[in-house]
Chains A and B, each alone.
Chain A
Amino acid sequence: MNWISNYVRPKINSLFSRREVPENLWTKCPECGTMLFHRELADNLNVCSNCDHHMAITPRERFQALFDGGIFTEVKVPEPIVDPLHFRDQKKYTDRMKATQKATGEKDAMLVAEGQIGRTPIVTAAQDFSFMGGSMGMYVGNAIIAGAERAVKKKAPFVLFSASGGARMQEGILSLMQMPRTTVAVQMLKEARLPYIVVLTHPTTGGVTASYAMLGDVQIAEPNALICFAGPRVIEQTIREKLPEGFQRAEYLLDHGMLDRVTHRKNMRDELITILRMLMRETPAVKADLPSPGKAESTVATAATPPATTAAKA
């Protein structure tokens, strides 16, 4: 099924030189330098049409493309105590939070939603790298627990898209405690015999990789995603040698037996539907008759629509 709409790409590279690029309408691919028109980029799920580089995508954009008709309902996440450690580095944590919330339009670094993909009910959570590097604090822990509980209640599979620099240092030990907390969430799914699929996206590192992001029944990664516990710079400093090409990238982990699959973002939805329906012992999905995604607005009523969400309007 071609769920990315048939869209005629403007011949952008020949039309404009870089100097004439209007602000925000164009994004330069950080890999190959190609200038990409925003609408085309959104239709392509933020994947460079020239070199296939997978750029960051917000949870909302991802969900709009993932769910049938782009329709999903947010799962409410219990709000944790604000700034539990009264943390202050060069700035106050509460000030950093307010600024990030304003810039992203989101409460924290994870969005949880439910709906259908290929007529298969699922609960899903996606981590938002644009929100403080997707760092894991109390809210992210609460989000995963809420998602798992919702999945158990609905007897639906849980799909998690990870993207994180690791723990949120400003929540100190409580951020570390999200490793066992989220592991309890995974246990709930396991005991309910519900599939837990992890999609690792660029980058997934530190305590996130060393907890819920490595405990899926099926582990899928997006191409070239950095997936590690210790980052390459830390390792180079420790062992004082240069690391091999592609080290800690998705394909490298696949080669070393740490992943089940590396899947292009444009094929991810179909693949998830196929796998989930088999694990749920459902009939094969009829993928062709579904309303094309990206047309309908989501049914989200609570949070403000962030400025970055353009996919639905494209």
Chain B
Amino acid sequence: MNYLEFEKPLAEIEGKAEELRAMARKTEGMDVEKEAAALDRKAGELLRDLYRNLDPWRKCQVARHPERPHASAYISALFTEYTPLAGDRNFSDDHAVMGGLARFNDQPVVVIGHEKGSDTKTRIHHNFGMARPEGYRKAVRLMDMADRFRLPVITLIDTAGAYPGKGAEERGQSEAIARSTQKCLEIGVPLVSVIIGEGGSGGAVAFAAANRVLMLEHSIYSVISPEGCASILWKDAEKMREAATALRLTAQDLLKLGVIDEIIKEPLGGAQRDVDGVIASVGAAIAAVLKDLDGRKPAELIRDRRQKFLDMGSKGLAA
């Protein structure tokens, strides 16, 4: 288990319980279960307290937790016959974006997601989930295919942002993002997005101009990282806690603002504490949305999606 900074007191209690039990395993006749169980209860209470009112900055840390399940985990658990399709037919294949054909509850779909990687090797392979233009262009190609063959599109959003690199800029990062957003708004099939971790700025919105945008309870979705915002507006990168609060980047605030449609509950202590559980919840939420959108005509799906974005923000937080 990887503990976050604010979970340190929890780490101590859980560590003690674990140590007691380890000692008992080695020492014959030693019974620690009563004490260990008391520690477990204490840990449980602390966990509930910590997560009952996670402040926005703590949510950022949970959203970026290294053990939080990433797109590949959702794809392998929720989809069958996943057939990755590669490349933008122009320059290369971007491993920060995975996608292809798959079946969701037997229904053929196109699934696209940012993949961050889960250890040093895979993180480098996936460029930490930060896409280059080729990633967005691959997504455009896949969405086009979905549109032609009338397959719903599911996108899994988890990126700190588009990659700020020299080649990415030279090959038209902005244009690639703009075209991807445009494609989202153009396709005549259901488009469902789930923000499973970080929804970082334009790099996230490029896959999230959807009919329905769902968000995990402790995910974040923001125009800029709290660190970036702090260094620009507070002229002090250490003010990220203040910036995270001011930006209203939590699922709870975004639901109030009408930017997202639904919050998917996470296991107590965050998605990383019950990976199977959270993946099942996300699967159920996607299934419900697809069922709801089933049978709608292409023109209707396009019109509703556009109207949703045109209307967005008209109410502010007061809504």
Contacts and interface: CB of A to CB of B under 8 A. Distances in A.
A210 B173 contact: yes
A247 B317 contact: no
A211 interface: yes
A279 interface: no
Contact of B313 (A87, A177, A212, A213): A177
A81 B311 CA distance: 12
B314 A180 contact: no
B224 interface: yes
A66 interface: no
Interface stretch (A15-23, A166-174, A261-269): A166-174
A274 interface: no
Contacts of B234: 89-90
Nearest to A167: B223
Interface in B162-181: 162-166, 168-175, 177-179, 181
A256 B171 contact: yes
Interface in B210-246: 221-224, 229, 232-234, 242-243, 246
Contacts of A173: 221-223, 247-249, 254, 257, 259
Contacts of A84: 257, 313, 316-317
A85 B317 contact: yes
B182 A186 contact: yes
B279 interface: no
Nearest to B260: A173
Query: DSSP majority for the B interface?
Result: helix
B175 A214 contact: yes
A172 B246 CA distance: 8
Given A183-B178, A238-B165, A176 B202 contact: yes
A86 B169 CA distance: 34
A184 interface: yes
A229 B164 contact: yes
Interface of B: 162-166, 168-175, 177-179, 181-182, 184-186, 201-202, 205-206, 209, 221-224, 229, 232-234, 242-243, 246-249, 254, 257, 259, 306, 309-310, 312-318
Instruction: In the A-B complex, list the 8 residue pairs whose CB atoms are closest, starting with the nearest.
Output: A230-B164, A84-B316, A209-B174, A89-B233, A180-B209, A210-B177, A176-B223, A81-B316
14 contacts: A85-B246, A85-B317, A88-B246, A89-B242, A90-B233, A90-B234, A171-B223, A172-B249, A176-B202, A187-B182, A213-B174, A214-B179, A239-B165, A243-B166
Given A141-B313, A229-B173, A230-B168, 20 more contacts: A81-B314, A84-B316, A84-B317, A85-B257, A85-B317, A89-B242, A167-B224, A169-B232, A180-B185, A180-B209, A187-B182, A210-B162, A213-B178, A228-B169, A235-B165, A238-B164, A238-B165, A239-B165, A243-B166, A256-B172
